[in-house]
Structure 1
Amino acid sequence: MEKQKKNYIDLEVWKQARILSKEIYLASSQFPKDERFGLTSQIRRAAVSIPSNIAEGCGRNYPKDSIQFFYIARGSIYEVETQLYLSYDLDFITELDLKAILMKLETTRKLLNGFINYYQTLIK
């Protein structure tokens, strides 16, 4: 029997990235209305980029190509982290919200780093 390739929607890293994106959307919905085209848009775009790039990477035929998209997802994690701190600095989110979302972000980052490490073993 042929081993079936795991679908990206079954991956814990993708599931956690979706949860993180949802949290970002919920938190940013409380941002001032005049930020709709500023920080609100930027942080949402970066958050959505994380699970999107994981999915796209999983759809590639070669591990080296996949890793490139996982690196983009990881870069978006750092982008979201920076924007969260800015949101806190501007009093758009509370310290409690910041810490809660950062915990989800860290979980996603660790899972993604492990996923990248796994894919790197496939190209050696």
Structure 2
Amino acid sequence: MSFKFESLIIWQKAMRIGEEINTLSYHFPQKEIYNLNSQIRRAADSIALNIAEGSIGQSNLEFKKFMGYSIRSLAEVVTCLHKAKNRKYISDNEFNQLYEESFNLMNMMVAFKKNIK
């Protein structure tokens, strides 16, 4: 038994990125606990949460709307990654890996959204 969204590759990848961001953010300085740390975690979690919520909606139009929220949350994560890199909280390597994963997921999500009829 499983939910429809659990079989979606975009949801699976969003879950993985969310966990990677969560782990990474533990290394941010204490002064960021209520700022960048909280922001990047909430945005990263929102990606998968919105995919799941939209997938059980009443209409495809509603699913498209939630996919839009999910895409915007991913853009927010990328912006937070830039901020973390600029503030030297993460290495170039960490940034590049998560940036590439985010870029690939963004492309998949945009294509998926376009194909919702």
Q: TM (normalized to structure 2)?
A: 0.95
Of 105-114 and 90-99, more deviation after overlay is shown by 105-114
Query: Which secondary structure state, in structure 2, belongs to the residue aligned with residue 91 of structure 1?
Result: coil
Shift of 1:115: 1.1
Match of 1:94 in 2: 91
Matches within 5 A, 1:1-124: 7-119=4-116, 122=117
Unaligned runs of 5+ in 2: none
Quote the sequence identity (%). Answer: 28
Shift of 1:27: 1.0
- 1:64 and 1:7 map into 2 onto residues whose CA distance is 17
Unaligned runs of 5+ in 1: 1-5
Q: Quick check: 1:16–1:107 contact (8 Å CA) kept in 2?
A: no
- 1:43 and 1:118 map into 2 onto residues whose CA distance is 28
Shift of 1:10: 0.5
What is the number of residues matched between the two proteins? 115
Letter aligned with residue 88 of structure 1 = K
Q: Which runs of 4+ in 1 moved over 4 A?
A: none
RMSD after superposition:
1.0
Q: TM (normalized to structure 1)?
A: 0.90
Shift of 1:54: 0.3
- The structure with the larger Rg is 1
Q: Quick check: 1:47–1:77 contact (8 Å CA) kept in 2?
A: yes
